[in-house]
Amino acid sequence: MAAPAHEDTIAEVKEIFRVYLKDKGHRQTPERFMVLEEIYKSDGHFDADDMFFRMKNTGYRVSRATVYNTLDLLVECDLVQRHQFGKNQSHYERAYAYRQHDHIICDSCGAVIEFCDPRIHEIKTLMERIHEFKIDAHNLQFRGSCADPQNCTRKPDIIKKDHHQS
């Protein structure tokens, strides 16, 4: 799981978001910037309701609609990535200044394991060359089940990190 963002990164993403909102004619509300800051101060993946309740429990006065709408805007301007790890629930994570990684998802318990393997970058580069194509982003998910079914129980927000670099 990634550590919370540094203050410099938070200042950078706020400026990127400010410019994006201005260029697209959206209002620059304090609530939108509170959602952005909370995302970049937090770790790992979350869904919109997780973020809403986290902010509400911290004392922020923000509506559920504001959280959902702000997440959509943050995805549009590439500051947040949206993932479908199964079911119909979208999960999100920070996207700015964070290393590309991929996911292994247990369909039984919902565990999400992040991993990074340099061979994926090599494949991307090869595909660009072979197909004369510029790849701007990718999303790789392996789906299956935990190897130990006895310890595979639905535990929300399970995020493991595998830094194995074969």
Residue 115 lies in a domain: yes
8 Å CB contact between 156 and 85: no
Residue 52 lies in a domain: yes
- Name 112's bridge partners: 105, 159
pTM of the model: 0.64
Instruction: State whether 71 and 120 are in the same domain.
Output: no
Q: Which of 39, 59, 94 is the last residue of a domain?
A: 94
Instruction: State whether 89 and 12 are in the same domain.
Output: yes
Number of domain units in the chain: 2
Mean pLDDT across the stretch 41-53?
87
Q: DSSP secondary structure string, 53-120? A: HHHHHHT----HHHHHHHHHHHHHTTSEEEEE-SSS-EEEEE-TT----EEEEETTT--EEEE--HHH
Judge whether residue 49 has pLDDT over 80. yes
Instruction: State whether 149 and 90 are in the same domain.
Output: no
8 Å CB contact between 29 and 37: no
Judge whether residue 40 has pLDDT over 70. yes
pLDDT at 166: 36
> Which two tokens mark 104?
């292994």
**Helices first, then strands: H and E counts in the chain:** 5, 6
Q: Residue 160 in 3-state DSSP?
A: strand
Question: Burial level of 126, CB count in 10 A (0-12/13-18/19+)?
Answer: exposed
Question: CATH number for the domain including 117?
Answer: 3.30.1490.190
The confidence band for 156, taking pLDDT boundaries of 50, 70 and 90, is very low
Report the 10 Å Cβ neighbour count for 90: 15
Judge whether residue 28 has pLDDT over 80. yes
Q: Provide the domain limits for residue 130.
A: 102-162
Residue range 71-104, pLDDT digits in tens: 999 999 988 888 776 667 788 888 876 666 777 8
8 Å CB contact between 159 and 93: no
